[in-house]
Amino acid sequence: MTQPTPRRSPILSFSSDPAPALVVRAADAFAFSSGLAASIGASLSLVASGALGVSNPASWAFLAGSGTFIIYSLDRLRDLDRDRAISPLRTAFVLRNRPRLYAAVCIAAIGFVATLLLAPPSIILLCLAIGLVGLFHRRLKQAAALKTAYVSLAWVAGCVGIPWLASGHASGGPWIAGILLASLAANLIASNLRDGRGEAREPTDRGDTAQVLWLARGMAVLAITIALISPAALRALVWIPICEGLTLARFRPTERYGQIAVDGGLLVGALLASIHLEWAA
């Protein structure tokens, strides 16, 4: 007697489909290679430059993007033992592509130095200070609150501080810094839930997780508020915390959600803010 052919579940069908698998691999490569972090740095810098009316924004975006790529890539290459426990997918990617990542860091470093040498002394000093913080990131990042504070400040220094110095201290700088500082803090607070604090929490700790997540959402709301009360020319930046807040509304403490969706919210928000600024110009 012929047995009926079992129906394939949607999950099995999806996993066997090469198209979604290819998309997942591409997203993994973009995020795990530090390409996403570099793109966020460059995009936020372009938004800040556009809002401040800075000339030569591509140079400042390249400094922010390449500097981010160098710092994050070196951290992931050097801290494999710790990352195995909290980011196994990313660790496996880094191990498979270690020679390529080192080569990419070298290329980025050459471009970074060449661009930095053409910058004003104040920007050179700021970049050196950010790089010094990056060197100690591996040791400092163990404390979640400290990590949130100094990483947020370092991002703001690179993405807003450089264009602000290039603009001659434009008045909109503090507003932009406040919007991005709160948005980045929201991102990092949520990331800390996953980095060894959210993947395998006991049921008794779920209340603490919920409180921390609401803190992250509150920072996104704060960023939205700052953007809405800022000068009219800067309100396009509201897209950054809006997109970040949307990712936190459906937060999942998984590796891919944290490193692709939550971080990707900043990139999407920066792109929308750039479009809004161009449209309003």
The model's pLDDT over 134-143, given as tens digits with 9 standing for 90+, comes to 887 767 777 7
Return the pLDDT at 82: 84
Q: What is the pLDDT of residue 156?
A: 98
> One-letter amino acid identity for 180?
L
By the 8 A CB rule, do 125 and 165 touch?
Answer: no
Residue 173: count other Cβ atoms within 10 Å of its Cβ: 18
- Give the DSSP letter of residue 23: H
| Per-residue model confidence (pLDDT) at position 208 | 76
Q: How far is CA 25 from the centre of its chain?
A: 19
Comparing CA positions, the residue from 159, 152, 112 lying closest to residue 133 is 152
Query: Residues 6 or more apart from 37 whose CB is under 8 A from it?
Result: 68, 69, 72, 263
Confidence (pLDDT) at 13? 41
Q: pTM to 2 decimals?
A: 0.89
- Residue in 108, 129, 117 with CA at minimum distance from that of residue 42: 108
Give CA–CA dist 266/184, Å, rounded.
8
For 117-150, give the secondary structure using H, E and C: CCCCHHHHHHHHHHHHHHHCHHHHCCCHHHHHHH
Q: For position 12, what pLDDT does the model report?
A: 40
Are the CB atoms for 36 and 259 separated by under 8 Å? yes
Q: pLDDT tens for residues 124-160?
A: 999 999 999 888 776 777 777 888 999 999 999 999 9
Q: Which of 181, 82, 184 has its CA nearest to residue 141? A: 82
Q: What is the pLDDT of residue 136?
A: 79
Which run of H or of E encompasses 224?
Answer: helix 206-229
Q: Which single residue is written with the structure tokens 């400094």?
A: 63
Measured CA to CA, the distance from residue 223 to residue 228 in angstroms comes to: 9
Please state, in angstroms and rounded to a whole number, the distance separating the CA atoms of residues 10 and 41: 37
User: In this predicted structure, what is the pLDDT of residue 81?
Assistant: 86
Question: For residues 127 and 107, what is the distance between their CA atoms, to the nearest angstrom?
Answer: 18
Q: What are the helix and strand counts (H, E) for the chain?
A: 16, 0
Q: Per residue of the chain (281 residues), what is the pLDDT tens digit?
A: 444 544 444 434 444 556 688 999 999 999 999 999 999 999 999 999 999 999 999 999 999 999 999 999 999 999 888 888 889 999 999 999 999 999 999 999 999 999 999 999 999 999 999 999 888 776 777 777 888 999 999 999 999 999 999 999 999 999 999 999 999 999 999 988 865 443 434 433 556 788 999 999 999 999 999 999 999 999 999 999 999 999 999 998 899 999 999 999 999 999 999 999 999 87
Structure tokens at 73: 């890539």
Contact (CB, 8 A) for 236 and 277:
yes
* Six-digit token string for 83: 């990352």
Q: How much is the pLDDT for 18?
A: 64
